[in-house]
Amino acid sequence: MSEIDLETARKVAHLARIAVPEDHLPALATELSQILTFMEQLGEVDIAGVEPMTSVTPMRLKRRPDGVSDGNMQARILSNAPDAREGFFAVPKVVE
Amino acid sequence: MTELNALTIAAARDLLRAGDLTSTALTQACLTAIEGAGRLNAFVHKTPDLAMARAEAADAWLKAGDAPALCGIPIGIKDLFCTEGVPSQAASRILEGFCPEYESTVSAQLRDAGAVMLGKLNMDEFAMGSSNESSVYGNAINPWRADGQDLTPGGSSGGSAAAVAADLCLGATGTDTGGSIRQPAAFTGTVGIKPTYGRCSRWGIVAFASSLDQAGPMTRTVRDAAIMLEAMCGHDPKDSTSADLAVPDFEAMLTGDIRGQKIGIPREYRMDGMPAEIEALWSGGSAMLRDAGAEIVDISLPHTKYALPAYYVIAPAEASSNLARYDGVRYGHRAKLGPGDGITQMYEKTRAEGFGPEVQRRVMIGTYVLSAGFYDAYYNRARKVRTLIKQDFDRAFAQGIDAILTPATPSAAFQLGAMDDADPVQMYLNDVFTVPVNLAGLPGIALPAGLDAHGLPLGLQLIGRPWDEAALLNTAEVLERAAGFVSKPEKWW
């Protein structure tokens, strides 16, 4: 069985940018371990020489002209922002 | 006479065109039914004023003539679709208050065909779930009951399925990443089709796993699914994976003739411990297709067993990437910050408060399988297994198989809360028959074919060749007629 230890669980939560309280980490580690154990079955499959699927249907993605097709809607773009000021998205201080 | 809200789309269309019914009356009947069905918790944002305005416009169009098939037909839209000026939050707290400035391509096409939106429908948060129990709005409830207990309508399109089964609307949109249209359809005695990947534009639909997501209709009959699907399909330059192919007249291709069609029965779908009722349903379905002139052929899809584990690597991996956009900056919820909190704390607190437990779990699993050192062992391996799963289907179709018949789900609808103490993998097993279809990008349809010992609906699934939804719908309609499923849930709500 795959074992996710507390340290790994803490690291994954941080990489996912989700705050997980210390006392929830053991339960999280157990759940993640259960799911990963289920995935271990994939190890039984012979995948030698198999290409990973990158496109569901074999088709070339369409190209579009490299030009401006839309714009000039600053107010509409900001309309759902939790904090918009002076025409910008506002966030806590990023640079010290 | 049938209550107006219980009409099929096809019947309502004919009455509307003949001038024997107005969309205003039909829409009013649905709005009344919705008002009386609060207990089902299917509609979570209601838009009665918008609906009446659209109904009046539809009536004018119908009078002027040349109105499309869906003109004046009241429908529900899954909360995953962005709808202009109407809350769209994917049943998540993190999108609380989000009111899009734009309309998804699929719902815009339905609107432009004259369909009347009644409101937004409940679902699992970000479409991650098989029971509609992960919704910020609370559970949607199945109109079907057994022993007076509340049952799940399935998920993730649980609200859509409940609404269609309870006659709250004539059809609804759903989306299907691993079975989210077909499993709830099977649990509620309704019809749901997931078209070929690329048939419906994904633009404006909140993304879960982009290489698996497809929209599709949920209706009461196969004919209605054909009518509604046609309006939803078509090329969209705003979705680079949308197929630039002509959309056939699906309804016109319902000929009722399947003589000479080869129907494959995959032996790997005969799972250990499969309930006898499901076995009987499945063999009954193949007998009906044989009686209709199809040839039944045993086939093998050897990698079936690995579809679920591959799916539960690929879907969370894509989800962890897609859901990175919910950071409290551009839309939706932002956590209250404490003194000294910087931008990282803002992200971490916002996402901890905004995402429910199942979404958090999948985002973290996705993050793990994509992280340095594990990418090849999990993600790349899963993508290779996906290739093998698709090749299984390719081989079957190359042998001349036209469609594949399987059960839609391993059981009938279960009780809400039944999975609370199970580990997450138990819930994932609901999708065992539907997930391979998404991995291979194929069209699949679920339709009701019988009742279990408790009087609950059971569904069968037909899987078709890529881009051949027309033949798939035709076979499904033949099966629907042979099965003669006419049961409706008794109204208790």
pLDDT in tens, B29-79: 999 999 999 999 999 999 999 999 999 999 999 999 999 999 999 999 999
Can the peptide bond before residue B180 be classed as cis, meaning omega within 30 degrees of 0? no
Write out residues 429-468 of B within 8 Å (CB-CB) of A. Answer: 440-441, 466
CB contact (8 A) between residue A57 and residue B196: yes
B146-167 burial: b if 16+ Cβ within 10 Å, else e: beeeebbbbbbbbbbbbbbbbb
- Closest CA of chain A from B318, distance in Å: 12
- Token pair recorded at residue B481: 């007629």
Select which of B104, B107, B180, B286 is catalytic. Answer: B180
Kindly identify which residue of chain B lies nearest to residue A32, measuring between CA atoms: B365
B244 close to A (CB below 8 A): yes
> How many contacts does A have with B, using Cβ atoms within 8 A?
165
- Within-domain flag for A65: no
pLDDT in tens, B317-363: 999 999 999 999 999 999 999 999 999 999 999 999 999 999 999 99
Start-to-end CA span in chain A (Å)? 45
pLDDT in tens, B111-144: 999 999 999 999 999 999 999 999 999 999 999 9
Kindly identify which residue of chain A lies nearest to residue B210, measuring between CA atoms: A56
Q: Are strands A88-89 and B43-46 parallel, antiparallel or unpaired?
A: unpaired
Report residue B455: phi and psi, to 5°.
80, 20
Structural element, H or E, at residue B381: helix B381-398
Report residue B83: phi and psi, to 5°.
-125, 125
Q: What is the pLDDT of residue B372?
A: 87
Q: How many CB atoms lie under 10 A from the CB of residue B419? A: 18
Contact B209, B314 (CB under 8 A): yes
- Within-domain flag for A26: yes
Comparing CB atoms, the residue among A39, A45, A61 nearest residue B388 is A45
Report residue B458: phi and psi, to 5°.
-125, 145
CB contact (8 A) between residue B342 and residue A34: no
Distances in whole angstroms, Cα of residue A83 to Cα of each of A91, B176, B290, B335: 7, 34, 63, 12
Residue A56: pLDDT band with limits 50, 70, 90: confident
Mean pLDDT over residues B272-294, rounded?
95
The DSSP result for B318-341, as a single string, is HHHHHGGG-SSSSSS--PPPPTT-
Contact B311, B438 (CB under 8 A): yes
B160 is catalytic: no
Distances in whole angstroms, Cα of residue B388 to Cα of each of A52, B279, B383, B407, B436: 9, 27, 9, 22, 11
B220 close to A (CB below 8 A): no
Q: What is the pLDDT of residue A59?
A: 76
Which is nearest to B324 in space by CA: B370, B386, B376? Answer: B370
- Within-domain flag for A37: yes
Share of chain B above pLDDT 90, in %: 95
B134 is catalytic: no
Q: What is the pLDDT of residue B444?
A: 98
- Token pair recorded at residue B310: 């591959």
Q: Report chain B residues whose CB lies below 8 A from the CB of A80.
A: 97-101, 330-332
B137 close to A (CB below 8 A): no
CB contact (8 A) between residue A76 and residue B309: no
Which is nearest to B203 in space by CA: A70, A40, A46, A95? Answer: A70
Residue A2: pLDDT band with limits 50, 70, 90: low
- Within-domain flag for A12: yes
B332 close to A (CB below 8 A): yes
B363-400 burial: b if 16+ Cβ within 10 Å, else e: bbbbbbbbbeeeeeebbebbbbbbbbbbbbbeebbeee
B194 is catalytic: no
Kindly identify which residue of chain A lies nearest to residue B245, measuring between CA atoms: A59
Contact B160, B81 (CB under 8 A): no
Calculate the average pLDDT of chain B.
Answer: 96
A79 close to B (CB below 8 A): yes
Q: Pinpoint the alpha helices (H) of B202-252.
A: 222-232
- Within-domain flag for A57: no
Q: In sequence order, which residues have a C-beta less than 8 Å from that of residue B460 and are 6 or more positions away?
A: B281, B282, B285, B405, B406, B407, B408, B446, B447, B449, B479, B483
Mutate to test the interface with A, among B364, B365, B367 (most CBs of A within 10 A): B364
Q: What is the pLDDT of residue B182?
A: 98
Which is nearest to B250 in space by CA: B234, B230, B232? Answer: B230
3-state secondary structure of B434: coil
CB contact (8 A) between residue A12 and residue B367: yes
A42 close to B (CB below 8 A): yes
CA atoms in the 13 A half-sphere facing the CB of B286: 19
- Within-domain flag for A76: no
Contact B322, B209 (CB under 8 A): yes
Q: Are strands B171-176 and B214-219 parallel, antiparallel or unpaired?
A: antiparallel
Q: What is the pLDDT of residue A93?
A: 85
Kindly identify which residue of chain B lies nearest to residue A30, measuring between CA atoms: B423
B321 close to A (CB below 8 A): no
The DSSP result for B60-125, as a single string, is HHHHHS---TTTT-EEEEETTB-BTTB---TT-GGGTT---SS--HHHHHHHHTT-EEEEEE--SG
ipTM of the complex: 0.95
Kindly identify which residue of chain A lies nearest to residue B425, measuring between CA atoms: A35
- Token pair recorded at residue A73: 């809607």
3-state secondary structure string, B116-130? Answer: EEEEEECCCHHHCCC
The sign of the torsion formed by the CA atoms of B144, B172, B183, B253 equals positive
pLDDT in tens, B22-41: 999 999 999 999 999 999 99
Q: Which of B144-148, B176-180, B203-207 has the lowest mean pLDDT?
A: B144-148
Q: What is the pLDDT of residue B1?
A: 54
Provide the residue range defining the domain that includes A25. 6-43
Please give the tally of structural domains in chain A.
1
d(CA B250, CA B228): 9
Residue B463 has pLDDT above 90, yes or no: yes
Write out residues 48-77 of A within 8 Å (CB-CB) of B. Answer: 50-54, 56-57, 59, 61-62, 64, 73, 76-77
Residue A62 has pLDDT above 90, yes or no: no
- Within-domain flag for A60: no
Distances in whole angstroms, Cα of residue B144 to Cα of each of B79, B157, B414, B449: 22, 16, 11, 15
Select which of B92, B130, B134, B156 is catalytic. Answer: B156
pLDDT in tens, B389-444: 999 999 999 999 999 999 999 999 999 999 888 878 888 888 999 999 999 999 99
Report residue B265: phi and psi, to 5°.
-115, 105
Comparing CB atoms, the residue among A16, A42, A64 nearest residue B364 is A16
- Within-domain flag for A83: no
